[in-house]
Amino acid sequence: MTARQQPKNLWLGRWGFILAATGSAVGLGNIWKFPYMTGEYGGGAFVLVYLACILAVGIPVMMIEIGLGRRGRGSPIDAIRRVARESGRGGLWSLLGWMAMLCGFMILSFYVVVAGWSFSYLWKTVSGGLVGSEVGDMAAIFAANNADPWALGGWSTLVTLITLTIVGKGVQQGIEKSVSWMMPGMVIMLAIMIGYAMLSGGFGDGVDFLFSFEIGKLTSEGLLAAMGHAFFTLSLASGAILTYGSYLPDNASIARTTFTVAIADTLVALMAGLAIFPVIFANGMDPAAGPGLLFMSLPLAFQAMPFGSVFMAIFFVMLSMAALTSAISMIEATVAWLNESKGISRIKATCGAGIVLWLLSTLAMLSFNLGADWTIAGKHAFDWLDYLTSRFMMPLGGLGMALLAGFVLRHEIFRSELGLSNTQHALWLFMVRYVSPLGIMLVFIDSLGLMDL
């Protein structure tokens, strides 16, 4: 393994990478999106398909990203360029790194708005502003929360500033330190929430809803959603995992860490469902779509329960922390690139990236109030950022990495980085060459609207 660059940064602790990568993976995708999708697309049947996507596409691609990061020891752009050069290929492949970096940045610009909702709901819970007796009241509270650009922008700006502060402090002192207490804290709070859900009286219904195997509910749309979500939930093709991988020590096993992160992410998603749905069902509510589930139905359900506001506060602290540990990973690629490649100090790089981020996130935030009419093809900025990243950039980036690792790079590179046995390596290569590209292409073709499955 002599071909590797000297790293500029390394995780300090044995758990550094795993905690940071799990922190990146576990986020709004797990606690907000996954439970809803599972119910919507057929419960247990969807969970099975989702697990298959994680195994066949998510895990192999995550191994590629960590391998590229560690081999190239740099931001996505630099790492991919170096590894491609090492294989005698042109620097054009670094465009993949550009797209990933941009993708992470764009996701962050709408993610901070949703994280801002979580912060503001935590504040409302604590200050008693979440009182209402029916879903209509909650919808009005949510609408009012979005209607005021100063308040909404204030919350997303706060999330942005916390994110920048952590990232500005550096890989070890900022990122690693914060995830080392936020992640355990999050898991403890999630366990408390599940305990509370078990006592709510709706636990059985919640379990049924999540795990009942109704194959008839599984639509082709559900299949494609499972594939898309596998990328989003594991933070793939967005520069996050690749950059964190560039700080991975030489002796760490990429395969083992990948499985640990993927399993932890999946467990948290399932646990989130077990914390949310029982509470919803115990109060005779619908598992509504979109923001409604966490920001309308859930607060209303909590209100009707003993010590509801205490647990609602715990819930929103947990959600906010999950969002923060993801947010920091989305901007790290950009900061690392400015710092390592352009020689800009970390503080200045963070400030510079932060200003651009703030402008873009403000545009996303204004979609909910002043800019409600600023649409292109019926979508406003918030929707466009989500749509472009999840429907195009992530699948395309994942496809590019699979093709790069499967067909372009010298085999010796991943043989030494992954350190798998011959059989394991052959299986990984088969996944990377054929299974992942095919699966990704299905999603991609669908989002282009060329195929009506």
Which residues within the stretch 321-340 sit at the binding site for ligand PHE (CB under 6 A)?
A: 326, 329-330
Tell me if 398 contacts ligand PHE by CB under 6 A: no
Residue count of the chain? 453
- State which residue, 326 or 350, has the beta carbon closest to ligand PHE: 326
Q: How far is the CB of 137 from Na ion (least distance, A)?
A: 31
Task: Please tell me the distance from the alpha carbon of residue 249 to that of residue 161, in angstroms, as a whole number.
Answer: 30
Task: List the single partner that 389 binds among ligand PHE, Na ion, none, CB under 5 to 8 Å by kind.
Answer: none
- Nearer to ligand PHE among residue 25 and residue 264 (C-beta): 25
Query: Of 106-135, which residues contact ligand PHE (CB under 6 A)?
Result: 107
Q: Which of 156, 130, 51 lies closest to 312, judged by CA?
A: 130
Residue 404 binding target from ligand PHE, Na ion, none, CB below 5 to 8 Å by type: none
Angle formed at CA 323 by CA 26 and CA 139, multiple of 5 degrees: 115
Nearer Cβ to ligand PHE (202/354): 354
Does residue number 273 form part of the binding site for ligand PHE (CB under 6 A)? no
Range 205-264, binding ligand PHE (CB under 6 A): 232-233, 235, 238, 240
Give me 16's structure tokens: 């550094």
The footprint of ligand PHE on this chain (CB under 6 A) covers a number of residues equal to 16
Q: How far is the CB of 29 from ligand PHE (least distance, A)?
A: 2
Of 25, 218, 349, 403, the one binding ligand PHE (CB under 6 A) is 25
In this structure, the number of other CB atoms found within 10 A of the CB of residue 237 comes to 29
3-state secondary structure of 213: strand
Cα 373 to chain centroid distance, Å, stands at 28
Q: Closest separation between CB of residue 222 and ligand PHE, Å?
A: 18
Residue 26 in tokens? 């576990």
Q: Looking at beta carbons only, is 300 or 321 nearer to ligand PHE?
A: 321
Question: By C-beta, is 107 or 152 nearer to ligand PHE?
Answer: 107
In whole angstroms, give the CA distance from residue 21 to residue 53: 19
Q: Which residues bind Na ion (CB under 5 A)?
A: 25, 29-30, 233, 265
Stretch that binds ligand PHE, among 25-33, 59-67, 184-192, 411-419 (CB under 6 A): 25-33
Q: Closest by alpha carbon to 286, among 205, 219, 370?
A: 205
Cβ-proximal residues to 15 (8 Å cutoff; 6+ apart), any chain: 180
Helix (H, G, I), strand (E, B) or coil at 77: helix
Tokens, residue 152: 């909404």
Angle 288-293-298 from CA coordinates, rounded to 5°: 120
- Residue 156 binds which entry of ligand PHE, Na ion, none, CB below 5-8 Å type-dependent: none
**The token pair that represents 176 in the structure block:** 């690693």
Site for ligand PHE in 88-107 (CB under 6 A): 104, 107
Residues 143-202 that bind ligand PHE (CB under 6 A): none
Structure tokens that stand for 429 in this block = 């290569």
The span from the CA of 234 to the CA of 66, in Å, is 12
SS3 43: strand
Which residues would be at the binding site for ligand PHE (CB under 6 A)?
24-25, 27-30, 104, 107, 232-233, 235, 238, 240, 326, 329-330
